[in-house]
Structure formats: structure tokens, C-alpha cells
Amino acid sequence: MIERVIVLSGPVGAGKSALSKALGDRFACRVVKTHEIITATKTVPMERQALQEAGEALDNETGGSWVADYVASLATAPDAPTIIIIDAVRLKLQIDHLRKAFKEVVTHIHLTATREVLTQRYTDRHSVMSEVSSYEKVAEDPTEAQVGTLQQHSDIWIDTAENEVEDVVARVAARLGLYGRGADRLVDVIVGGQYGSEGKGQIAGFLAPEYDVLVRVGGPNAGHKVYHEDGADTFRSVPSGANRAEHAKLVIGPGAVLRVDVLQKEIAEWGLGVDRLFIDPQAMIVEDWDVEGEDGLKKSIGSTKQGVGFATARKIFRDKGPIDGAPKVKLAKDVADLKPYLRPTQEVLEDAYCDGKRILLEGTQGTALSIHHGSYPYVTSRDTTASGCLAEAGISPLMVRRVIMVCRTYPIRVAGTSGPMGREIDWGVVAARSGYSREELERNERGSVSGTLRRVAEFSWSQLRAAAALNAPTDIALTFGDYLSVENQKARRYDQLHPKTPPFIEEVERVARAPVSLIAVRFDYRSVIDRRHW
């Protein structure tokens, strides 16, 4: 069903073809060239003068209805487009017939420019048809000479001499509402509330089927685990809900840092096609040099040594840094194997906003590892708060509906000299309190990427409050509820939790000033107790 007919008019060289192509490419519009209608109706050489004469003959034969008649034929086709751009009309009579046939869905856009600019553009143009010798000759045509009068009948008119093509596209698309007309809050954000490894993948996988677009930022130094009937999958670059929401588009944002081999492995494993996965051209690429350079960081601050920090530093230095031997900055747009997947995140998001699609943004690591807000230098190379994740993805805070902060009952940090974490304990203490065996806990509590045994600490209420102040969560997702009692593994509802669990949850809610809406109680596909009211 045709929902919009965009009609272009204006003198030769005003920029109609550039606008129609840009709109067609960006918004999947069907572009109808009037010279194509003419050649489909009459045997005419691809010469400007001949086409002008043939168009005038069709006007005489049909009373100016031939353009509207052709568009009407498209409307009855099985694969009828929703948006049609007509490039271009030359008479008010043609516009009148279109308005009569398609009424309020017709928008008439008139483009113009100074005579000097039109002349220069005509001289420089590369046309699909044979042109007459000069712009002066074109302008002598009686129909062409009166095209300027269409400006007074147009819904939108733009002087393209004052704008670049992308400026004209932005103005027209905004007027037409192609970017969406509202500012509906369509984005929900998942963020870690502690030192990472809070179980964000488990929560993202649980929520993913409810969303149309899944966005991920961060780097391959964070592995998010999603459980299924036969085990678990770890996602390091692709959004963690990829295997739970097969309908959803997957987006890797411009602030992401990528290892090509890791990403390619995930693309192959999940069979991700170019119609589903979109990688922002600005995402940074990790080189082997970056990984090797982090040897010192692994020893001094417990880095996972994935090269993310060094790659981020090179992106900031823009090839002008003081590090001898550093490779030239390489972005996703510079990797041949990734080119089929490249698309600016902003475009994907704008399309989703326009269509009212729901978006889930998945942050990585945890708030206490933020380079700005954590215990420097024992931090990661990025801001891991909700606002930092939004900035990396290119999402305005005004688009956010919910912020889900994930916290675990016993926070952990990676092994080694990874920095302070409150009152540190060992896994024997957790085992004694929970009813798990120490061996089982130590088998499960190894880094998704590093594979090393994690450090563990008592739940820090002051750290929870600080994270809540930074992220302003609307909801808390509490994970590892079974570490409060192994009996919680059996719970499928809130009222089935071990008696000592609800008081802990209630205190989390008081300190965070947000409801605990999701509770994970085991390593399993069906592991989350859902208490949401949204």
C-alpha cells in the first residue's frame, strides 16, 4: 500500500536526482524517474531534447495524467512500495492529477538554485542521457522555462545552492517525518552495578525476546554468558540475546572495540547475515600489538590482556601518540571482511525510533570499573555507567525508558592485583553460607574470557548506593540468589525463595531506591524470577 508520494520539481541541475537517490538509499523508497515512464511508453532515444518533446506529447495525449496513471499502476502491484519518489514533474497539471489520485499522501518538494550554480552543475554533470550543448539551450525549452513557477505550489522548497546534499536530505526527511515525529522512550539499558561478571548476559538473554533491536558496546574483554537447555554460550562482541531473539536486529555501536577474529567466530557460529547484524564503521579494531602491549597491565592491575585499553588509547591519539611502533588506527570501515555488515548505528536507531521499535542496550563490565568513577588505576579503559554506554552507542538519555542495573549477591573481581573490592572473603565462606560445595563454586567462578578464579567479597551496601547514584536505575536485577541459599535453585516464584532471601532483597531496594524486578537463582535456561510491572 502506498503511504506517501513524494513529488520533486525544479530546474535541471537543482539537485533532484541527488535527493531522490539519497532518500531512496536511506529510507528504502521506490524512485520513479519520469524519463523511465516515457521510454516505457514510447520509443524515444535517451536524449534530453527528445525526452522533453515526448513528455509534452504525453501531456497533450493524457491531459497531464500520465505520471499519476503510472504511479496508480504501481499501487495495484503485489509488491507495491510504501513510499514513492517521483523524479521529476514539470507541470502543475501533473501535480494536480497526483493530488487528485493520492490526496493527502502527496508531498510536493521544489528545489531551486541560482542561475550561476545551475549552469556550473550542468557543465559538471554526468548524465545517463545525451545532453544539449549548454544550460542556456536547456532553459530555452518552454516547459523548462516555466518550471520555476511550481515553487509557489510546493509544500517544501529549498535553495540547494546554500546546502550540501546531506543537508537537503536532513531537511526533507525531517519535514516528512521519516526520522519519526515523536520522542518515545523506546530504549532500555542493562548496566553492571559492581565490578563486572554480575550476570548481565543472563539478564540480557532473558529480556531479549521482547525487543526488536539489540545493541552492544564495550570490547572483547567482557564475555557475557547466556544459558540454554544444553549448556551456555559466551558472547564477547555480539549482543547476548542473539540466540534468544532471532527476529531482532543486532547492532555493534561506534564506541565498541573489536577483535576481528573473535567477531568473525561469533558471526559464523550464529550464522549472522548482513540483513541482521550491523557494525558501526567507527568501531575500533584491536591489533596484536595492542594485546602484546598489555603484558604490564595484566601484572599491575589484573587486566584481561585483550588489547582493548591500548586500542582505545590509539583511537584517542589519532595516530599521533607518543608510543613508538604503534600501528596505524584501524576502524571497522577499514576491514574488508566487515564491509558487508557496515551501517551507521544512528541510521539503524533512527529507523527503529520511527517505527516505534523497542531497543535493548547492553553495557559491559561494571560501574565500579569505570575509568572515571572507579578506584583508579584499577579500572577499565572506558566509562561503564549507563550514561557512558549510551554515549558509546549514540543514544540520547531522553530515549531511555528503563535502566536495569545488575548486581550479584557476592561481588567478584578478576584474579590478581585487580584492585579494592570492600570486605574480601574466600569461596569457602560463600560455600558455608549457601550450602554449595567450595569445589562447585570455584569451578563455576572463573572468568568468561580469562578462565582464572575470581576474587569474592561481601555484598557492599555503600558500593550499591554509589552505583545507584551514578546510574539512577529504574530496576535492579539481582543475580546469584542461590548464593544466599542453595535452596533458591528450586524457586520459580518469589514466594518460594528461602526465608532469608526476601529481607536481603528488601534492603537492596531501600538502599538502591529501586525495585528488584528480576531475580536469577541458578545457572539454567529458566533461571529468572520475573517481578516486573512493565
Work out the mean pLDDT of the chain and round it to a whole number.
90
- The whole-number average pLDDT for the span 240-250 is 91
Range with lowest mean pLDDT among 25-29, 192-196, 208-212, 450-454: 450-454
Higher local confidence (pLDDT), 62 or 223: 62
In this structure, are residues 30 and 24 in contact, taking their beta carbons and an 8 Å threshold?
Answer: yes
Q: In what order do the strands lie in the sheet with 412-413?
A: 412-413, 455-457, 424-425
**Is the omega angle on the peptide bond into residue 514 within 30 degrees of 0, that is, cis?**
no
User: Residue 393 pLDDT more than 90?
Assistant: yes
Which set of grid coordinates corresponds to residue 29? 523508497
- The whole-number average pLDDT for the span 51-62 is 90
pLDDT attached to residue 305: 59
Contacts of 40 (CB under 8 A, 6+ apart): none
- The whole-number average pLDDT for the span 251-269 is 94
pLDDT attached to residue 272: 95
pTM for this structure?
0.85
pLDDT attached to residue 293: 67
**Across-strand partners of 31?**
85
pLDDT attached to residue 301: 46
**Angle, vertex CA 503, rays to CA 497 and CA 508, nearest 5:** 105
Which is nearest to 195 in space by CA: 408, 489, 425?
Answer: 408
User: Residue 104 pLDDT more than 50?
Assistant: yes
pLDDT attached to residue 122: 87
Helix (H) or strand (E) segment spanning residue 173:
helix 165-176
- The whole-number average pLDDT for the span 204-227 is 89
Place of cell 493530488: 99
User: Residue 303 pLDDT more than 60?
Assistant: no
How does residue 390 score in pLDDT terms, banded at 50, 70 and 90?
A: very high
How does residue 523 score in pLDDT terms, banded at 50, 70 and 90?
A: confident
**Segment 454-486, tens digit of pLDDT:** 999 999 999 999 999 999 999 999 999 999 999
Which is nearest to 411 in space by CA: 361, 374, 372, 360?
Answer: 374
pLDDT attached to residue 128: 67
In this structure, are residues 375 and 202 in contact, taking their beta carbons and an 8 Å threshold?
Answer: no
Range with lowest mean pLDDT among 100-104, 465-469, 502-506: 100-104
How does residue 86 score in pLDDT terms, banded at 50, 70 and 90?
A: very high
How does residue 300 score in pLDDT terms, banded at 50, 70 and 90?
A: low
pLDDT attached to residue 220: 83
Which is nearest to 368 in space by CA: 425, 424, 447, 422?
Answer: 422
pLDDT attached to residue 224: 84
Question: Phi and psi for 132 in degrees, rounded to 5?
Answer: -75, 170
Range with lowest mean pLDDT among 109-118, 200-209, 448-457, 516-525: 448-457
User: Residue 60 pLDDT more than 60?
Assistant: yes
